Amino acid sequence: MKRLNCIIADDEPIARQILENYIDSFSYLNLIASCKNAFEVLEILQQKEVDILFLDINMPKLSGLSLLKTLPKRPNVIITTAYPEYAIEGFELSVTDYLVKPFSLERFMQAVQKVSINKDLETIIIEKKEEINRSIFIKSDKKIIKLNFDEIYYAEAYGNYVKIFTDKMILTPFTLSRFLEKLPKHFVRIHKSYVINFNHLKMIDGNRVILQTKSKLPLGKSYKKELLDRLDNH
């Protein structure tokens, strides 16, 4: 499990010490700051990535709830307070949990686990999105085929169809322009009839493009500048 960076915000030294001891009980929690007021918290949030903020409500000058209202981007917030009457307002501000002092290590653990579960779900969602963004489903010969973009070397226009060249050739009912719209940015058009995977480009030889697969394709004059610009910015 990824270590979660934590900060404490509480004006009471004893309350901070209890939280510090609780945090120290879990190897995946990493305490990076123990703050006496909201202004110290703001400074830390500007400097470091924070996963959990353990936040007291009743602090001098700027209360915990007032602090939350000023934060455009918040870490997971676990309220730690002696005042249960603010619970509704806290949850309206989308806090992860609300701990009423004094709270046990077990109750503390339950609150932290909510953060861990959220983090795990977030990781799964990100990984799933990345997986989806790495592939495309195409129709070919009455089948639906999943192709990873890295598998595609180039594509060639063939009337209202496209020939997709991987380790084999796949014919799919697309125009080349429509197919290009579905491809990520590392695909570039080099000719009215050809699109290449830029990651498979080996060299440009005059008005020809040579891929790592040794395929030699024509480079259209109107597309050459875009390809050269891509090389300059690569």
Taking only the tens place, the pLDDT of each residue in 14-43 is 999 999 999 998 888 899 999 999 899 898
Of the given ranges (42-46, 123-127, 177-181), which has the lowest mean pLDDT? Answer: 123-127
Stretch(es) of the chain classified as CATH 3.40.50.2300: 4-131
For the chain, the first-to-last Cα distance in angstroms comes to 35
Listed in order, strand segments (DSSP E) in 114-200 are: 135-140, 143-148, 154-158, 161-165, 169-172, 187-191, 194-197
Query: 84 vs 197, which has greater pLDDT?
Result: 197
> Which amino acid is located at 33 in the chain?
A
Stretch(es) of the chain classified as CATH 2.40.50.1020: 135-232
Q: How many CB atoms lie within 10 A of CB 49?
A: 8
pLDDT at residue 165 tops 80: yes
CATH code for the domain defined by 4-131: 3.40.50.2300
pLDDT at residue 205 tops 70: yes
pLDDT in tens, 77-99: 999 988 888 777 777 778 889 89
pLDDT at residue 72 tops 90: no
For 119-124, what is the mean pLDDT?
Answer: 56
CB–CB of 196/156 below 8 Å? Answer: no
Task: Please name the fold of domain 135-232.
Answer: OB fold (Dihydrolipoamide Acetyltransferase, E2P) (2.40.50)
What integer pLDDT is reported at residue 88 of this predicted model?
78
What integer pLDDT is reported at residue 47 of this predicted model?
87
What integer pLDDT is reported at residue 94 of this predicted model?
80
Query: 65 vs 189, which has greater pLDDT?
Result: 189
pLDDT at residue 1 tops 70: no
Burial (0-12, 13-18, 19+ Cβ within 10 Å), 3: exposed
Listed in order, strand segments (DSSP E) in 68-127 are: 76-81, 97-100
Residue 234 pLDDT level (bands cut at 50, 70, 90): low
pLDDT in tens, 106-118: 999 888 888 876 6
What integer pLDDT is reported at residue 168 of this predicted model?
93
What integer pLDDT is reported at residue 62 of this predicted model?
86
